[in-house]
Amino acid sequence: MIQDKPEPQDSSHRIATSDDIEVSTYLEIAKELGGEQPSPRSEVLPGAERETIVVIDFGSQYSLLIARRIRECQVYCELVSHDTPWEKIIPLNPKGFILSGGPASVYEDGAPMAPAYIYEKNLPVLGICYGMQVITHQLGGKVTPAAKREYGHAILHTSNVDSPLFADLDTSAPVWMSHGDQIEEMPPGFTSLAYTETSPFAVMGNDRNIFGLQFHPEVVHTPQGKTILKNFAHRICGCRGNWTMGSFVKDSLVRIKKQVGTGKVINALSGGVDSAVVASLIHHAIGDQLTCIFVNNGLLRREEAERTLNVFRRNLGMNTTYVDASQRFLERLKEVTDPEAKRKAIGEEFIKVFEEEAGKIGRVDFLAQGTLYPDVIESASSGSKAAAKIKTHHNVGGLPARMTLKLIEPLRYLFKDEVRQVGLELGLPEEMIWRQPFPGPGLAIRIIGEVTREKLEILRSADWIVMNEIKKAQLYRQLWQSFAILTDVKSVGVMGDYRTYGYLVAIRAVTSEDAMTADWSRLPYDLLARISNRIVNEVAGVNRVVYDITSKPPSTIEWE
C-alpha cells in the first residue's frame, strides 16, 4: 500500500522502519543502520536506578491498561510479546512479571505459553485471567471449560487476609470477571487465597511469590484493583517507585544529548501536546541545534495554523519554520478512499516535506516525533504478536521504508497523561498541555471517502460549531475528545419547503484516561440540540446530524 517511496540519497544516514518492526528489535536495527543509538526502552532510567515490571502479553484488549496501572504506582512497566527471549528482557532490569489475559484456552493446541524464564528466574509472577490459567497449566494444575461462564461484576471474598497481595484491601470487594474457562485443580504447592460465588480459586498463590487472579484488576470495574497491583509491585516485587516524570525529564535530557551529539534536529510541530512536549524537551537538551517545522498540510481545523504558530512563537522561543504544503497533500490524497492508504500517504508526504526543509537548513541528522506508546501498540509495531493491528498511525507504520533522517522519539514509551505531566515539568502553558488530542492525519480521517477541498470546508465549519458549543458549556476539559465527522452518506431533507439531498454529519464526544479505552459522553440533550440546529442552519450541504453512542472497544475513537 505504500506508494512512491523516496529513492535513497545517502545510505550512511538512514534507518529502516516498517509496519512489522518490533520494539524488541529496536536496538539491533538502530545499531545496524544508524550507528550507535541509545535504545529508549533500555535507558528509561539509567543503571541501577532502573526497575521494571514486565507484562507478558497474550493478546488481551486490556494488556496495555495493566502497564498503565503499574506506572500509576510510580513503577516503570513495559509490554512485551509472550515469545520475547530473556536476552531482550535483561536490559529492562525486571523486578517481576505479570502475565496478561488473552482470548485463547490453555488446553488447546498451539495456545501461547509463558517462556521458561518466568519460572526459572525466581522473580515474582502475577497471572491475570488467561495468565493465571497459563500458570496453572504449566505448573501441573488443570484448566477446563467452565460450566457457568463468568462475565461482569462479581464479589471477591478473601480467604487469606495475611497475604501481602491483599494489604489495605477490603475482605469483600467487587471485581470484574471475563472468562469462560476455570481452574479445576490448582498446581502443587498453591493455595486458594480468595473466591467468588462461581470461582473457588479466584485468587491463588504459593510460597515462591507466584500468584494468579481470575479477575481483571486493571479495569475501572474492579475499584480496588489498583491497590492489588500496587501491592504486587511494591510489597512483593520490592519496587521503590522511582518512575516519575521529573526523573524521566532529567534522564531524557542526558539521553538526547548523547544521541544527538553535535548533530542537528528538526522537529515536526503539529500544535498538539505531544509535539510541543517533544520540542521543549529537545530544546532544553540541545538548544539551537533544534529547528521546529510546522507543516500546514491543508487538513487542519479552522484557524488552527495561525493559532498554533502564535502559541509556539510566543511560548517556546525556538527556531520555527512555517511550510504551507496544503496543495501537495490534497493532490496526494486525490481519489484515495481507503483509511490505511490515507494514513500511509500522509505519513510519506510529511517525511518528504521534512527532508526538503532539512536540505534548506543544511546538514540535518535527526527527525523528532511525538510518537506515544498507544500509537506503537495500535500500529502493532511492538508488543504482542497475538495483538491485531487496529490501524496504522501515520508516524509509526505510515513512515516510508527508507529515510534520510534518524528518528528521535523520546515519548515513545509514555501514555498521554504522562506526556502532559512532562509538559508541566517543563513549564509549558496550559493551553498546550490540555489541548484535546488531534490526529496526525488531521481531518483526512474524519472525512469518510475521498478528501476534497469542498468536504474539508464543510467539516471545518461543522467542527468549529461543535468545539464552540462544547467550550461554551464548559465541558472541554472533561472530554478526552469532541469533534465532527463528515460521512460519505447523503440523505433527503426538507429546508424552506424545498427538498434537499445533503451530507450526514456525525458528532463524537468521548471520555477516557489514555485513549486505549473510551466511553461515549452523555452530553446534555439541549447541548446536542444546539449543535445539531447550528450545523444544519449554518453549514451549507448538511441536512442531518447524528450522535455516536459507541464506546471503545468495540469502536475506535476516530472513525478511520
Which residue reads 513549564 in cell numbers? 427
147, amino acid identity: A
Q: Which residue has the cell 541501577?
A: 48
Least confident of 74-78, 130-134, 360-364: 360-364
Q: For 12-59, how does the pLDDT look when each residue is reduced to its tens digit (9 = 90+)?
A: 222 222 222 222 222 232 233 233 333 334 345 444 467 999 999 998
Neighbouring-strand partners of residue 178:
151
pTM, whole model, 2 decimals? 0.69
> Angle, nearest 10°, between helix axes 416-425 and 273-286?
40
Which amino acid makes up residue 261?
A: G
In sequence order, the 6+-apart residues with CB closer than 8 A to the CB of 13 are 365, 404, 405, 406
DSSP state of 49: G
Output the pLDDT for position 156: 94
What integer pLDDT is reported at residue 318 of this predicted model? 84
Task: Give the CA distances from residue 197 to residues 132, 139, 149, 157, 218, in Å, rounded to whole numbers and listed in that order.
Answer: 18, 25, 12, 9, 21
Q: What percent of the chain has pLDDT over 90?
A: 58
**Grid cell listed for 406:** 534518524
Beta pairing, strands 498-511 & 519-520 = antiparallel
Q: Which residue in this structure is represented by grid cell 484535546?
A: 436
Q: How confident is the model at residue 183 (pLDDT cuts 50, 70, 90)?
A: very high
Q: Do β-strands 142-158 and 320-324 pair in parallel, antiparallel, or remain unpaired?
A: unpaired
**What does the pLDDT look like over 510-539, one tens digit per residue?**
998 777 778 999 999 999 999 999 999 999
Going by C-alpha positions, the residue among 440, 451, 455, 428 that lies closest to residue 392 is: 440
Domain boundaries 244-433, corresponding CATH code = 3.40.50.620
Distance of CA 164 to the CA centre of its chain: 31
pLDDT cut 70: percent of the chain above it: 85
Sign of the torsion angle spanned by Cα atoms 184, 185, 190, 192: positive
pLDDT of residue 379: 55
In this prediction, residue 497 has a pLDDT band, given cuts at 50, 70 and 90, of: low
- Output the nine-digit C-alpha cell for 78: 513495559
| Per-residue model confidence (pLDDT) at position 15 | 25
Higher pLDDT, 417 or 341: 341
Element holding 123 (H helix, E strand): none
pLDDT of residue 499: 81
The three-class DSSP label of residue 430 is helix
Residue 172's CB: how many other CB atoms inside 10 A?
A: 10
pLDDT band at 254 (very low <50, low <70, confident <90, very high): very high
Q: What's the gap between Cα 279 and its chain centre? A: 19
The model's pLDDT over 332-360, given as tens digits with 9 standing for 90+, comes to 999 999 999 999 999 899 888 878 887 88
Listed in order, the ranges of the chain carrying CATH 3.40.50.620 are: 244-433
Residues acting as catalytic residues: 129, 216, 218
> What was the pLDDT predicted at 150?
66
What is the pLDDT, as a whole number, of residue 127? 97
Report pLDDT for 47: 43
Give the model confidence (pLDDT) of 315-339 as tens digits.
677 888 899 999 999 999 999 999 9
Instruction: Give the residue among 406, 396, 560 at the shortest CA–CA distance from 20.
Output: 396
The H-assigned helical ranges of 218-317 are 225-230, 245-260, 273-286, 304-315
Interatomic CA distance for residues 71 and 430, integer angstroms: 23
DSSP 244: -
Summarised one tens digit per residue, pLDDT across range 268-295 is 887 788 888 999 999 999 999 999 988 9
**Segments of the chain assigned to CATH 3.30.300.10:** 446-547
Query: Is pLDDT of 301 > 60?
Result: yes
Instruction: Give the residue-averaged pLDDT of 247-263.
Output: 92
Residue range(s) in the chain whose domain bears CATH number 3.40.50.880: 48-236
Q: Which of 303-317, 359-373, 441-455 has the lowest mean pLDDT?
A: 303-317
Q: Would the pLDDT of 472 be above 50?
A: yes
CATH number corresponding to 446-547: 3.30.300.10
111, containing H or E segment: none
d(CA 15, CA 400): 10
End-to-end alpha carbon distance in the chain: 16
The three-state (H, E, C) secondary structure of 532-551, written as one string: HHHHHHHCCCEEEEEECCCC
Closest CA to 482 of 496, 493, 491, 471: 471
* 390-407 pLDDT per residue, tens: 444 444 444 445 557 788
Is it true that the peptide bond before 374 is cis, omega within 30 degrees of 0?
Answer: no
CA distances from 456 to 242, 270, 328, 545, 552 (A): 46, 18, 15, 17, 26
Quickly state the pLDDT bin for 309 (edges 50, 70, 90): confident
Distance, in Å, from the CA atom of 511 to the CA atom of 482, rounded to the nearest integer, reads 9
Confidence of residue 447 (pLDDT cuts 50, 70, 90): very high
| pLDDT, mean over the chain | 84
Phi, psi of 77 (to 5 degrees): -140, 140
Helix 245-260 with 416-425: angle, nearest 10 deg: 80
Sheet holding 191-195, edge to edge: 76-81, 52-57, 94-99, 125-128, 210-213, 203-205, 191-195, 142-158, 172-185
Question: How deeply is 352 buried, as exposed, middle or buried, from its count of CB atoms within 10 A (0-12, 13-18, 19+)?
Answer: middle
Give the burial class of 483: count Cβ atoms within 10 A of its Cβ; 0-12 exposed, 13-18 middle, 19 or more buried: buried
Largest CA distance in the chain: 79
Q: Looking at the DSSP assignment, which residues form a beta bridge with residue 510?
A: 481, 520
CATH superfamily of 48-236: Class I glutamine amidotransferase (GATase) domain (3.40.50.880)
Whether the pLDDT of residue 136 is over 50: the answer is yes
